[in-house]
Amino acid sequence: MKKILLLLITFSATTLMLFAGNPDRQGEAGASELLMNPWAKSAGLHTINTASIGGVESMRLNPAGVSRITGTEIALSHTFYLVGTDIGLNAAGFAQKIGKSGAFGISVMAVDVGDLLVTTEDQPEGTGATFSPGFFNIGLSYAHTFENKVSVGVTARGISESTADLTATGFAIDAGVQYVSGENDEFKFGISLRNVGTPMSFRGEGLGVQLEIDGTPNTFNSRGESFELPSVLNIGLSYDFRIDEKHMITGLANFTANSFSNDQLSAGIEYSLFELFQLRAAYRYTVEGNTDVEILAPVYTGLAAGASVMIPFSKESDAKIAIDYGYRHSNPWDGSHSLALKLLF
């Protein structure tokens, strides 16, 4: 296992050198909804639990964690995204254990931006009609745990974006590894590489342009420029400090390398009581790239916090219901609030 851990660290260091953040490319990628986290528990930690995340939520951050479940997990979540923008994130997921070491899962996420006015060159204030843009993605995940120490996982994700007369589709792969060590698996190390996939471009009637040639109207189709997906690399670790049978404190640290923006350093802490009640908080720091351009500063900086309550159905049953809440500070706007409901059995 020491050789495996050394291999993971070497791989992460090598990958990091090849995948360093590039703030000069900020704004060149699309499909930014792939960077939005709709899940409350991990949102309360600024999505830095790369090493310890498990179950349905791991399909968003590190698919290796899917195999850490013990049975079946069903989850629903809603996020009031950047309060003041009237944007909502909706997510649902299902994960199922297969045999002793494997697990598969499916997750979906949709962004609700509400109704927008239809505008034209002749009516820039609006025609009176409205449309609702669609941002949707679905992921299929599989993970396997080897010797209860090393887990590997992969997610294949389909992406769809649309307006009233334009559509763009794409495909992405997420992959991750988790390693646990210690007498009680207290040390955890994780790596995930996300949103590696095909370039996307918009197609549809909305790209049609009407021009007159010799007094005759003609319609020409223009081509939409393609854009890359916002690939991101996460390297994280965590350590459980078990005080006694009732209380446990977990420390977390994470490095995020964004291929189209600044890199980020994050740290967090989580307190657990009987694993039935949890409090968590995290802080994210952005490694400045071009400080002369204020717009390069990310929306999410500073503090995130959250809590979870897990309620057993009965003393005889392993089935539980969990309620998660997460808050992330943002600048500007009034932060994001996430609420999730999970069934575990």
pLDDT tens track for 222-246? 788 899 999 999 999 999 999 998 9
Cα torsion 66, 71, 76, 77: sign: negative
Q: Which of 335, 293, 323 is nearest to 77 (CA)?
A: 323
Rounded to an integer, the average pLDDT of 30-44 is 95
Q: Where are the beta strands (DSSP E) in the chain?
A: 72-81, 87-98, 102-112, 116-117, 130-131, 134-146, 150-162, 167-181, 187-197, 208-213, 216-221, 232-242, 247-258, 264-273, 277-286, 300-312, 320-330, 336-344
Residue with the two structure tokens 């960077």: 35
Burial of 184 (0-12, 13-18, 19+ CB in 10 A): exposed
Burial of 300 (0-12, 13-18, 19+ CB in 10 A): buried
**CA-CA distance, 197 to 317, in Å (whole number)?**
42
Identify the three-state secondary structure at position 142.
strand
> CATH number of the domain that 44 lies in?
2.40.160.40
Tokens of 7: 């291999």
Q: Please say whether the beta carbons of 189 and 195 come within 8 A.
A: no
pTM above 0.85, yes or no: yes
Which pLDDT score, from 0 to 100, does residue 18 have? 46
User: In the predicted model, is pLDDT for residue 170 greater than 90?
Assistant: yes
Tens-digit pLDDT profile for residues 45-66: 999 999 999 999 999 999 999 9
What is the domain range of residue 241? 2-344
Tens-digit pLDDT profile for residues 110-164: 999 998 888 887 888 888 888 899 999 999 999 999 988 899 999 999 999 999 8
Tokens of 333: 């706007």
Which pLDDT score, from 0 to 100, does residue 24 have? 60
Instruction: Tell me how many degrees the CA angle 111-77-276 measures, rounded to the nearest 5.
Output: 155
Which pLDDT score, from 0 to 100, does residue 202 have? 92
Q: Which of 2, 5, 13, 6 is nearest to 255 (CA)?
A: 13
User: In the predicted model, is pLDDT for residue 11 greater than 60?
Assistant: no
Q: Please say whether the beta carbons of 105 and 95 come within 8 A.
A: yes
HSE of 317, CA atoms in CB hemisphere, 13 A = 10
When divided into structural domains, the chain yields a total of 1
Identify the three-state secondary structure at position 35.
helix
Residue 20: CB atoms within 10 Å: 12
Identify the three-state secondary structure at position 118.
coil
**CA-CA distance, 181 to 237, in Å (whole number)?**
11
